Amino acid sequence: MPEYQKHEHDVLVIGAGGAGLRAAIEAAHSGASVGLICKSLLGKAHTVMAEGGVAAALANVDDRDNWKVHFADTMRGGQYLNNWRMAELHAKEAPDRVRELEAWGTVFDRTPDGRILQRNFGGHKYPRLAHVGDRTGLEMIRTLQDYATYQPIDVHMECTIVSLLKDGNRIAGALGYDRERGRFKLFSAKAVVLATGGVGRAFSVTSNSWEYTGDGHALAYNAGAALQDMEFVQFHPTGMVWPPSVRGILVTEGVRGEGGILVNREGRRFMFDDIPENYRNQTADNEEEGWRYTQGDKNARRPPELLTRDHVARAIVKEVREGRGSPHGGVFLDISWIRAKLPNSEEHIKKKLPSMYHQFKQLADIDITKEPMEVGPTTHYVMGGVRVDGDTQMSTVPGLFAAGEVGAGLHGANRLGGNSLSDLLVFGMRAGKYAAEFAGRQATPRIDTQQADDMVRIALEPFNRQGGGEGPYQVEHDLQTMMQELVGIVRKDDEIRRALEALKALRDRARKVSVTGNREYNPGWHTALDLQNLLTVSEIIARAALERKESRGGHFRDDFPEKDPNHASFNIVIRRGPAGEVQVSREPIPDMREDLKRIIEENK
């Protein structure tokens, strides 16, 4: 029988990025005893990578902004598949969450009159992103981390959860292992908050780190919770493409917010060529107007580079496919051209985009103040995730909550830049609050050690196959390559079916994977375990993508290239069937409240 280190908490938060930290803080404020699980060290989670800013209708830069406009922008960006209640709460509460960060020590850039400065971003009608140069995520996670340091929160660093545990229908805790020694940990918890982020490692070109293996998605799914919108994966239009080893690393949308433009190898600014109907009224007619918009002219409309990410990413793919791409298979993103407009452009760029300047200088020998960058789409974010109640963030499993990227609903078919950082604050806070409340009403759950023992046995299998099968890295690599090719930005029925076949074969290989060495800090073993989650979410993404026979937001079907109004009224919901099969269903979106409908009409 395996030995466990046992921990007992009212609320167990799995994941310590922005959403997890904010949830843990809120649960601790509510008086709950809180455990916080970090897959890495504290403060290294993916939030650290967020660059552009946090969206909140503070109206510090443009007083026409308010929650209603932010709500309407979010719904338009999500192509109306959003959980409208979440979009409403998010737009209303984001300003308070941002101001609260300032009270905890965040130092945002300022307006001339000393208030929080806001910048333009794709899909946002007014300058709305509070920011700190281009390292907003670092500032945010450090603020939350430092604040949490002084709260009664038990932090379990470098700990990975392999399974949730249940007591009958409700959640009872989780089983994990610590990386350092490979010891198993048994957590008893009255409520569990998933804040594990996304699934980017299912694809080969991604801005996501090794941690992003869909753990929370798979944990929830295996525990019987419903997922939704899993066909909607966001491919960020601008990732680095050269040199090969940095392919996929994010280039912030802030570059375009500050006036950066996209051009093909002929020097043509191709984004003016195709402007979607529902954004025509909000898009600049000419380059001059677009430039004025980025410089804060309230009468100007946004340049087409600041259309939503799904649209910009597809426009780039089109240029490359039709032979007008850059030498390494991307297009050019140029901010250096603003020297024609600003006398001190080099200093200005370094001040506004310091980490981009640094990143290109160091990794690609390119001085972005003098020459264009080469960029192309990179897997960045998953809109889909655990299906939750909009107010409480509780999933369909009692006591299991989800917040941040692993939750679904706020972003619909496509997320606007900047809405992720605000998402994790608003719904991290809500999840923490309602998880603590839920925990307060529950008795301590009963942990079924048999459940845990079984999981441990499965988790240790790769060691027992020593010398037998192949290592986990090759299987992971092949999975990523396959998903990129067959379930990537442009999808087709026959390709998705081929992907499902390929997944069966990969699953067989994964079952035979063996690892060497012992349990102490063994990345081969960790990869073998993460691989199971990657296989699960990859199949879910493929099944959902097959079901949505239209093109909308982050999901583009070559065989159904148009948006279909018949597909506008439902979310695709995924559950685990009794025999372990993936069950796909279409579930209607509840009718929107009349007052919210009016807001959308008024902001058309």
Partner 1 sequence: MATESLARGIAESGQRAAARSNTSAGTETRKATFRVWRGAGPTGELKDYSTNVSEGMVVLDAIHQIQAETATDLAVRWNCKAGKCGSCSAEINGMPKLLCMTRLSELDLNKPVTVEPMRAFPPVKDLVTDVSSNFRAKKRIRRFTPRPPDAPDGTWRMQQADVDRVQEFRKCIECFLCQDVCHVLRDHHLHEQFVGPRLLVHAAQLEMHPLDILDRTDELKDSGGIGYCNITKCCTKVCPEHITITDNAIIPLKERVIDKHYDPLGKLVRLIRGRKREEGRGKGEAGSEGRAP
Q: If DSSP states are collapsed to H, E and C, what string results for 17-51? A: CHHHHHHHHHHHHCCCCEEEECCCCCCCCHHHHCC
273 binds partner 1 (CB under 8 A): no
245 binds partner 1 (CB under 8 A): yes
Distance (Å, whole) CA 290 – CA 282: 11
477 binds partner 1 (CB under 8 A): yes
Select from 107-115, 292-300, 420-428, 478-486 the region that touches partner 1 (CB under 8 A): 107-115
Select from 75-83, 242-250, 294-302, 560-568 the region that touches partner 1 (CB under 8 A): 242-250
For residue 560, the cross-strand partners are 557
Distance (Å, whole) CA 70 – CA 94: 10
Question: Is the Cβ of residue 473 or residue 570 nearer to partner 1 in the bound state?
Answer: 473
- Taking Cα atoms as reference points, which of 468, 465, 457, 478 lies closest to residue 534? 478
Question: Is the Cβ of residue 261 or residue 542 nearer to partner 1 in the bound state?
Answer: 261
Distance (Å, whole) CA 438 – CA 445: 13
For residue 400, the cross-strand partners are 192
Distance (Å, whole) CA 79 – CA 554: 10
Least distance to partner 1 from the beta carbon of 505, Å?
Answer: 20
- Please count the residues of this chain forming the interface with partner 1, following the rule CB under 8 A: 85
Query: Of these, 66, 355, 481, 603, which contacts partner 1 (CB under 8 A)?
Result: 355
Q: What is the DSSP letter of 132?
A: S
473 binds partner 1 (CB under 8 A): yes
Do residues 90 and 419 make contact, with C-beta atoms less than 8 angstroms apart? yes
Query: Of these, 524, 563, 575, 589, which contacts partner 1 (CB under 8 A)?
Result: 524
Catalytic residues: 236, 256
Question: Is the Cβ of residue 66 or residue 355 nearer to partner 1 in the bound state?
Answer: 355
Query: Of these, 6, 31, 64, 180, which contacts partner 1 (CB under 8 A)?
Result: 180
Distance (Å, whole) CA 471 – CA 467: 10
Question: Is the Cβ of residue 278 or residue 518 nearer to partner 1 in the bound state?
Answer: 518
243 binds partner 1 (CB under 8 A): yes
First and final C-alpha spacing in the chain? 63
469 binds partner 1 (CB under 8 A): no
Question: Is the Cβ of residue 34 or residue 496 nearer to partner 1 in the bound state?
Answer: 34
Enumerate residues 370-429 that contact partner 1 by CB under 8 A.
371-372, 374
Query: Of these, 3, 63, 103, 344, which contacts partner 1 (CB under 8 A)?
Result: 103
Least distance to partner 1 from the beta carbon of 448, Å?
Answer: 32
CA distances from 215 to 14, 210, 430 (A): 10, 11, 21
The token duo for 220 is 């929830």
Query: Of these, 3, 63, 150, 299, which contacts partner 1 (CB under 8 A)?
Result: 150
Residue type, 106: T
268 binds partner 1 (CB under 8 A): yes
Query: Of these, 285, 501, 520, 581, which contacts partner 1 (CB under 8 A)?
Result: 520
Do residues 177 and 159 make contact, with C-beta atoms less than 8 angstroms apart? yes
The token duo for 136 is 């907003």
Least distance to partner 1 from the beta carbon of 454, Å?
Answer: 25
Least distance to partner 1 from the beta carbon of 292, Å?
Answer: 13
Phi, psi of 327 (to 5 degrees): -55, -30
Enumerate residues 552-571 that contact partner 1 by CB under 8 A.
none
Q: What is the pattern of x (binds partner 1, CB under 8 A) and - over residues 356-375?
A: --xx--xxx------xx-x-
Strands (E) in 75-183, as ranges, are 118-119, 129-130, 153-156, 159-167, 170-178
